[in-house]
A and B are shown apart, each in its own frame.
Chain A
Amino acid sequence: GQQVMQIPQYQHVQEGEDFTTYCNSSTTLSNIQWYKQRPGGHPVFLIQLVKSGEVKKQKRLTFQFGEAKKNSSLHITATQTTDVGTYFCAAPPNDYKLSFGAGTTVTVRA
């Protein structure tokens, strides 16, 4: 079945620096969703990308969907301690389920 692969698995960031996490699929995706899970918490929906080459911004977060709709990225600028958590990409192989990547766990050094 469809799988999405995320890299890196872990991201250690100095506060104030930027970083990017990537999500890749071997198949074309109809859309891709991003979720954030804080330590001890549950996944929280961030955004959905649908169109080829789409770019969406949420404050310091920039989400991009690749032209071929097989990859996506999340870029965070000026990282803050509130950005700590695990970021998951998820894609629907059909209308009824989401396949989640393994996530990128972000820690921040103050």
Chain B
Amino acid sequence: DAGVTQSPTHLIKTRGQQVTLRCSPKSGHDTVSWYQQALGQGPQFIFQYYEEEERQRGNFPDRFSGHQFPNYSSELNVNALLLGDSALYLCASSFHLGYTFGSGTRLTVV
């Protein structure tokens, strides 16, 4: 039973560029949440997707957008990258109890 899969694992982008991160949830999970984790901090909620709709959004600008597909997989898009967007981006899927996190995508903006 596969856990949460994220791709790519690492990414380096230049300021102003756009990036797309991908997530496949754990089998049987229909809800996908995205979190941003800066170094030395706890994960910060970006948004959650359920039934292909954004159900809840955290305090992130509109440059952060997402999508969920019929197979429950999800994408996180970030436009006009800033240096401050450098972080570990975590995808978490859930069904009932607790969240299962993927290994994350380490994004570095230079």
Contact = CB atoms under 8 A, between A and B. Distances in A.
B96 to A, nearest CB: 10
A35 B98 CA distance: 9
Interface stretch (A13-21, A77-85, A90-98): A90-98
Nearest to A97: B45
Contact of B90 (A33, A43, A90, A99): A43
Q: How large is the interface on B (under 10, 10 to 19, 20 to 34, 35 or more residues)?
A: 20 to 34
Interface string A10-42: 000000000000000000000001010000011
Given A42-B101, A43-B90, A45-B100, A100 B55 contact: no
Contacts of A48: 97-98
A33 B100 CA distance: 12
B71 interface: no
B108 interface: no
B41 A98 contact: no
A100 B44 contact: yes
A98 B99 contact: yes
B43 A96 contact: no
Q: How large is the interface on A (under 10, 10 to 19, 20 to 34, 35 or more residues)?
A: 10 to 19
A99 B103 contact: no
A97 B58 contact: yes
Nearest to A96: B56
A61 interface: no
Contacts of B98: 33, 45, 48
